[in-house]
Amino acid sequence: MVIMESALFTRSVMMKLKNGSSRVAGVAVVVPSANPPQGFSPHNKCPNENSGVYSESYGPTLAHCNTTVWNPLGNGLSYEEFDFPIFSLKDDNDTQLIKQCYVDHNRPVNGSDPQYPLCAMQLFSHMSAVTNTATCMRRNTNGFTFSPESICEPLGDHNIWAPAKPLNTTQKGHKAGESMVMATARLDSRSFFSEIGPGAESAASGLITLLAAAHALRNATQEAQLSRTIFYTFFHGETFDYIGSSRMVYDMEKNQFPIDLDNVHSVLEIGQVGLFSSSKVWLHTDPVSRRNGSVEEEVKKLVSNLQTAAKGLNVSVEEPGVTQPLPPSSLQRFLRARPFPGVVIQDYSSSFANMYYQSMFDNADSLKMSYPPNLTPEEQLNYVTDTAKSLAELATMVARALFVQAGGEESQVSAIKADELLVSRMLYSFVIASNNSWIQELVSSESAAQLINETANFYISVERQTSLPTVLVQHLLANLTGSTANVTQEDCKNQRENQDDKESKHLYSYSWVQGAAPPNSTERKGFCVRSTVHGTKALSPAFELEDYNSKDYSTWTESNWKQIKGRIFLVASHDLEMLTLGLGIAVLLTSLLLTYVMSSKADILFSTGREPTSATY
Task: Read off the CATH number of the domain in which 247 is found.
Answer: 3.40.630.10
Q: Check residue 278 and give its pLDDT.
A: 67
Confidence tier at 92 by pLDDT (50, 70, 90): confident
- At 34, give phi and psi (nearest 5°): -125, 150
Asked if 156 and 542 touch (Cβ cutoff 8 Å), the reply is no
Q: Examine the domain organization and report whether 208 and 303 are in the same domain.
A: yes
Residue 113 maps to a domain: yes
Q: Check residue 147 and give its pLDDT.
A: 57
- Domain containing 540 equals 157-169+177-482+533-555
Q: Check residue 322 and give its pLDDT.
A: 81
Q: Examine the domain organization and report whether 494 and 549 are in the same domain.
A: no
Q: Examine the domain organization and report whether 326 and 423 are in the same domain.
A: yes
Confidence tier at 93 by pLDDT (50, 70, 90): confident
Q: Check residue 95 and give its pLDDT.
A: 86
Q: Examine the domain organization and report whether 450 and 541 are in the same domain.
A: yes
Which of the two residues, 426 and 97, has the higher pLDDT score? Answer: 426
Question: Average pLDDT for residues 344-348, to the nearest whole number?
Answer: 97
Residue 571 maps to a domain: yes
505 sits in the region (left: phi over 0; alpha: psi -120 to 50; else beta) called alpha
H-assigned helices in 430-540: 437-442, 445-448, 468-481, 489-493, 504-507
Cα three-residue angle 227-230-233, rounded to 5 degrees: 160
Residue 198 maps to a domain: yes
Residue 601 maps to a domain: no
Which of the two residues, 576 and 159, has the higher pLDDT score? Answer: 159
Q: Examine the domain organization and report whether 476 and 510 are in the same domain.
A: no
Write the burial class of residue 344 (CB in 10 Å: 0-12 exposed, 13-18 middle, 19+ buried). Answer: buried
Residue 403 maps to a domain: yes
Nearest to 54 by CA among 423, 333, 361, 291: 333
Question: What domain count does the chain have?
Answer: 3
**How many residues belong to the chain?**
617
| pTM for the predicted model, two decimal places | 0.91
Strand partners, 270: 345
Which of the two residues, 614 and 448, has the higher pLDDT score? Answer: 448
Q: Examine the domain organization and report whether 32 and 134 are in the same domain.
A: yes
Instruction: Check pLDDT > 90 for residue 519.
Output: no
Residue 609 maps to a domain: no
Residue 465 maps to a domain: yes
Q: Examine the domain organization and report whether 494 and 361 are in the same domain.
A: no
Confidence tier at 144 by pLDDT (50, 70, 90): low
Q: Examine the domain organization and report whether 384 and 456 are in the same domain.
A: yes
Residue 147 maps to a domain: no
Instruction: Check pLDDT > 90 for residue 599.
Output: no
Asked if 273 and 346 touch (Cβ cutoff 8 Å), the reply is yes
The chain-wide mean pLDDT, for the chain, equals: 92
Q: Examine the domain organization and report whether 398 and 491 are in the same domain.
A: no
End-to-end CA distance of the chain: 81
Q: Examine the domain organization and report whether 368 and 257 are in the same domain.
A: yes
Q: Check residue 156 and give its pLDDT.
A: 96
Q: Examine the domain organization and report whether 374 and 322 are in the same domain.
A: yes
The DSSP 8-state label assigned to residue 492 in this structure reads H
Q: Examine the domain organization and report whether 521 and 489 are in the same domain.
A: yes
The SS3 of residue 327 is coil
